[in-house]
């Protein structure tokens, strides 16, 4: 099951992130994929701010993870872009963040190889003429339920 949307500008990317934030619940694993500059961090920032977070939402490119406690949710925003080897995910000790109480949002999940659990949702953002294409795929029953609510 998937949902596709053309995003003509940054505002549309922000609006999609805001719509998605209303669906979040503990235990979700969401992958964010796409080339550099495709809008992954913009989407993540909109999603986190739409939950009510008023602080600065930073890209975790250098810190690898940023934690946000907001709206009674614990959201981990990961960025694995700098990983050179999938085992770095294990060595960093991030497995403990993946639980039924937390939401994990991961940019560049492919850098962890096949070591990550199956995501509930995969959001693919790609450059397109005059904007971006977004495709949201559901990979679990929970993901399919959320995607049905979005559409």
Class of domain 2-141: alpha beta
Chain CA centroid to CA 39, Å? 11
Q: Judge if pTM exceeds 0.85.
A: yes
pLDDT value for 60: 75
Sort strands 73-79 and 2-7 into parallel, antiparallel or unpaired.
Answer: unpaired
Per-domain boundaries in the chain: 2-141
**Which of 4-8, 86-90, 103-107 shows the lowest mean pLDDT across its residues?**
86-90
Per-residue pLDDT band for 146 (boundaries 50, 70, 90) equals very high
Give the H or E element holding residue 88.
Answer: helix 87-91
pLDDT value for 26: 95
Q: What is the rounded distance in angstroms from the CA atom of residue 144 to the CA atom of residue 45?
A: 23
- The angle that helices 40-50 and 10-21 make with each other, rounded to 10 degrees, is 50
């Amino acid at each position: 099951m998937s949902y596709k949307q053309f995003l003509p500008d940054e505002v549309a990317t922000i609006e999609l992130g805001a719509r998605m934030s209303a669906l979040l619940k503990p235990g979700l694993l969401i992958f964010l994929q796409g080339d550099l500059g495709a809008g992954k961090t913009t989407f993540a920032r909109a999603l986190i701010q739409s939950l009510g977070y008023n602080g600065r939402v930073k890209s975790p490119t250098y810190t690898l993870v940023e934690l946000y406690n907001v709206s009674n949710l614990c959201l981990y925003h990961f960025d694995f872009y700098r990983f050179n080897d999938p085992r770095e995910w294990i060595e960093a000790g991030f497995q403990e963040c993946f639980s039924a109480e937390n939401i994990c949002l991961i940019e560049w999940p492919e850098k962890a190889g096949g070591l990550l659990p199956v995501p509930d949702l995969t959001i693919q953002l790609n450059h397109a003429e005059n904007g971006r294409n977004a495709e949201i795929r559901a990979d679990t029953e929970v993901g399919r339920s959320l995607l049905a609510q979005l559409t």
